[in-house]
Structure 1
């Protein structure tokens, strides 16, 4: 099936609209929903689009899906541990499936996709440096729905989705630091004592002692006050 891809100015308009989210408090979920909807709309014949995220421990989840069919098709890949989306993530390369019935790379998933009425797919990894955060994918009910040109287009959407993820992670880190600092101001007396303990115990300067408290707070996912109270309570003060 021939696929008419959007013109350059249409793609520019999509990405310009998407990029506005980087300047707002929109969540990463909302950003990925926009990318998913735009990717599906950009390719006639697509039965659905989605974004899979995979963490450092290999845990997989569909962060955005245009419909239930995408969620189910993704879940089959996760359950079976095989499929085009997972290969795109693992290899860092786009994966094109022209007809699942004639593709022998993942027999179990090909059978599951056929049962769902899917015939073709294309997946592009979310690349950051030498690693991948997951993949963007399109599914179709007809064979030969996607071409190498579709692959290149989906790589553009994957690049945009990666930008959202990186910026969202940076915003989240900044938000956590801001919350820690607000907590510090609200409970500065107990925190000052905890900081003094670290300075005396490890020969640290004031700034380094504060950084150690902040890092422990984020690592343990507990408030700075609670970390300080615990440290003070566990320290035998001289009589």
Structure 2
């Protein structure tokens, strides 16, 4: 495989990296990856990322249009196709021309009947050691997914795995930071209640918990209000 990326592809991947680090939510990353696939991979007209549930249902993410979502739906119903095979194998799955001896006959029949797609590729996408799903590329041109397109798809799929790993790590970091912030708010409220009402730490926490239950609000929200309304809370 040629390791030298075309300038446009390199620029698109650089832009995608910015999306990952500026807005590291999964759905945003899925959408950015699929949009990039259509932009940089020759003959790629539609793209999606699918994840496979324990029950065997495919869930599409970031689909560029209704055709990508529709084909994901066909694969989910049939439990067969390049996405399914890519998730359980170590290599990408391709049928460059659905009109000639299709690899997945029933899926191809539905795709040819209901969409303009004439070629499909599925690449396994990973988050760390865990299988996350498949990057699915679709072409309206029979035979459009030649060697260069398939090779560039491999690069994008590898980048997608890195991007999703980054999103997962950032999500965990956000969760930890939010938890730390919440704990600080609760601790500050407990301290104020202890000082104001001469309560023990346990009694102050119990008071916050009862208020949270009575008001049907999160403990941290009640704590934040205690802090905000207290003259010495700042």
Per-residue deviation, residues 27-72 of structure 1 (Å, max 9, x unmatched):
3322322221221122343331111123566553111111111110
Deviates more, 1:100-109 or 1:58-67: 100-109
Count of equivalent residues: 194
For residues 11 and 67 of structure 1, the distance between their equivalents in structure 2, rounded to whole angstroms, comes to 21
1:77 alignment partner in structure 2:
75
Within 5 Å, give how 1:6-17 maps onto structure 2. Answer: 8-17=6-15
Once the two structures are TM-superposed, the CA of residue 186 in structure 1 deviates from its matched residue by 2.7
Once the two structures are TM-superposed, the CA of residue 154 in structure 1 deviates from its matched residue by 0.5
For residues 41 and 73 of structure 2, the distance between their equivalents in structure 1, rounded to whole angstroms, comes to 23
| 1:119 matches 2:118 | yes
SS in 1 for 2:10: helix
1:164 alignment partner in structure 2:
163
Once the two structures are TM-superposed, the CA of residue 224 in structure 1 deviates from its matched residue by 7.4
Q: Determine if contact 2:95/2:102 at 8 Å carries over to the other structure.
A: no
| 1:50 matches 2:31 | no
For residues 166 and 56 of structure 1, the distance between their equivalents in structure 2, rounded to whole angstroms, comes to 21
For residues 131 and 181 of structure 1, the distance between their equivalents in structure 2, rounded to whole angstroms, comes to 28
Once the two structures are TM-superposed, the CA of residue 18 in structure 1 deviates from its matched residue by 1.3
Question: Alpha carbons of 1:156 and 1:65: their partners in 2 closer, same or farther (altered >3 Å)?
Answer: same
Q: Determine if contact 1:124/1:151 at 8 Å carries over to the other structure.
A: no
1:61 alignment partner in structure 2:
59
Deviates more, 1:72-81 or 1:53-62: 53-62
For residues 143 and 46 of structure 1, the distance between their equivalents in structure 2, rounded to whole angstroms, comes to 11
Q: Choose 1 or 2 for highest CA Rg.
A: 2
RMSD: 2.9
| 1:140 matches 2:125 | no
Q: Determine if contact 1:119/1:142 at 8 Å carries over to the other structure.
A: yes
For residues 80 and 16 of structure 1, the distance between their equivalents in structure 2, rounded to whole angstroms, comes to 37
Q: Determine if contact 1:126/1:132 at 8 Å carries over to the other structure.
A: yes
Question: Alpha carbons of 1:41 and 1:87: their partners in 2 closer, same or farther (altered >3 Å)?
Answer: same
User: 88, 95, 98: which one pairs with 2:96?
Assistant: 98
SS in 2 for 1:142: coil
Once the two structures are TM-superposed, the CA of residue 187 in structure 1 deviates from its matched residue by 2.5
Q: TM-score, normalised by structure 2?
A: 0.71
2:153 alignment partner in structure 1:
154
Q: Determine if contact 2:37/2:44 at 8 Å carries over to the other structure.
A: no
Structure 2 gaps, min length 5: 194-200, 204-217, 221-234
Q: Determine if contact 2:38/2:46 at 8 Å carries over to the other structure.
A: yes
